[in-house]
A and B are shown apart, each in its own frame.
Chain A
Amino acid sequence: MTRRTIARALVYFSLIAATLVVLLPLVVVLLTSLKSEKEMANTSGALELPHDLLNFHNYVTAFQDGEMLSAFTNTAIILLISIGGTVLIGSMTAYAIDRFTFRFKKLVVALFLTAALVPGVTTQVATFQIVNSFGMFDSLWAPIALYMGTDIVSIYIFLQFVRSIPISLDESARLDGANAFTIYRKIIFPLLKPATATVVIVKGITVYNDFYIPFLYMPSEDLGVISTSLFRFRGPYAAHWEVISAGAVLVILPTLIVFLSLQRFIYNGFTRGATR
């Protein structure tokens, strides 16, 4: 064996090892979710296969008792409104910053830029009081407002794209009598489609997975989103790993489907979103 083949073998070995480390915990949870209560009590180990690979009993329990339907509905509402808002706000801000010169522009830009440095978790103590004073506490509006509020990443992504749209397009439209709003609506926004796709994906995944904000701002049980509803499994099902596992799989599954169908866009989105 030459050195090169050994090196190649080692590369594949490391890749396979990494694959096992990533997939094993997930596969085991999938297997556990298909086991019955009795099996769980009698099995010798987590790696044992379930007797019946089509035993979806735990999924039914998790879905009904965990009120997953209302959780998915709440999540969908929040997703829809906050993503729509983020796209609108992000693109408008980017358009205004890139296409106009106005007084205090530097200050405005600095305000947005500095906000990017402030991690949301640190200011939550005081943000809570503000959300509360608007009467939004314990309503779907709290997370919606907070997700829309300060998404600097999306503003930045939009800004990159607005810049790449030639100004001559704006100018010729202006000569045809279009005002700034028409230009934004008819020219800029449609051309921002790739950026919009990126923002929708990145934001969508962040919102879908967020735990901190719904946990703090929506304690009511009927306002559970998928993270907080799943979190509540801890109490009643503390020892029932088969049901908890089913709940976890139910939450992971949509992410997996989206990931498999949009892979390429997702990688690009995150590369673009993070290297701001």
Chain B
Amino acid sequence: MTDTTQKAAVEVIPAAPVPAPPTRRTRVRRGVTPWLFLVAPLALLITFTYAPIANMIAYSFTDWDGVSPELHSTGVENYREVFTRPDLFEVFWVSGYYLAASVVQIVLALYFATILSFNVRFRNFFKGVLFFPYLINGVAIGFVFLYFFQDGGTLDSVLSLFGVKTDHAWLGTPVSANTSLAGVSVWRYLGLNFVLFLGAIQSVPGELYEAAELDGANRWHQFRHIIAPGIKPVLALTVILSISGSLSVFEIPYIMTGGATGTETFVIQTVNLAFRFNKTGLASAAAVVLLLIILLVTWVQRRLVPDDKVDLV
């Protein structure tokens, strides 16, 4: 590579006490140096993000099984299948449970962030408790809640304390299983939203509250007119993260039910298609569809809430 020679040339240039007008050499040097820093990151970025996307789009128009050297172009057949085969498209409805759960989650997180940003006893303890689940390993959470929903497990025992006798198989029917799993995801992710909201609320200048209180505003007014506008960018971010999160749920249902009793999500299905049934072509088409939906959601959000903080340069 020419890079080494360039670098050697750089080192022999004596330091000029006054920035001299750029010679040809320094111009070349300035041109090359940033790329030396960027070679590794860019190579990784292209290899593990852009090449897969390009390949995936290419596979999605073929009947490839992921192993054999033979692959045939099938046009848009895979896409037709994704949208018309009811068993393939059905999994999208499961996302509905997680979307509904995200609404609950955001509301709860907002509530707790608001009350804990004011003076409350044991504030740090409550903060820690609410946030900690977000840090726990997903497999461990899966097991904790498998036991929670077991026959005679935690939930049944708690209910019997209140005199409610159930022999309800919580993970036994699609509706109750999906509701339970969505509940687990609220338990798990509430903390992240909570901490984001908390950070945003605390960046609202404190004098605003004092002024509002002097004007006789109560807590609800303060929330409505000071906090809510103050955290709008974070709220928008949370909404978009929730939507794309709801569409790409994988871990908890895969660990807890393996996708049985109607809890299969889009990603579980794609993983099964690709790695268990060797339908790489079809799985790629499904993944492209998911990717497009998520990009669309993000784009809509960026249009609705122009966020001036996203400028990287």
Contacts and interface: CB of A to CB of B under 8 A. Distances in A.
Interface of A: 7, 11-12, 14-15, 18-19, 21-26, 28-29, 32, 45-47, 89, 92-93, 95-100, 102-103, 105-106, 108-109, 111-113, 115, 117-119, 121-130, 145-146, 148-150, 155-156, 159, 174-177, 179-181, 184, 205, 208-209, 211-212, 216, 226-228, 230-231, 233, 241, 244-245, 247-248, 251-252, 255-256, 259-260, 263, 266-268, 270-271, 274-276
B48 interface: yes
Given A28-B147, A117-B295, A118-B53, A259 B196 contact: no
A46 B149 CA distance: 11
B128 interface: yes
A22 B199 contact: no
Interface stretch (B84-92, B99-107, B166-174, B268-276): B268-276
Nearest to B251: A211
Contacts of A145: 44, 48
Which of A21, A99, A126, A184 has its CB near the most chain B CB atoms (within 10 A)? Answer: A126
A126 B56 contact: yes
Main secondary structure of the interface of A (DSSP, over half): helix
Interface string B69-95: 000000000000000000000000000
A225 B255 CA distance: 15
B48 A146 contact: yes
A150 B120 contact: no
Contact of B199 (A98, A115, A260, A271): A271
B234 interface: yes
B154 interface: yes
A22 B130 contact: yes
Interface residues of B, number: 104
A209 B310 CA distance: 28
Contacts of B50: 111, 115
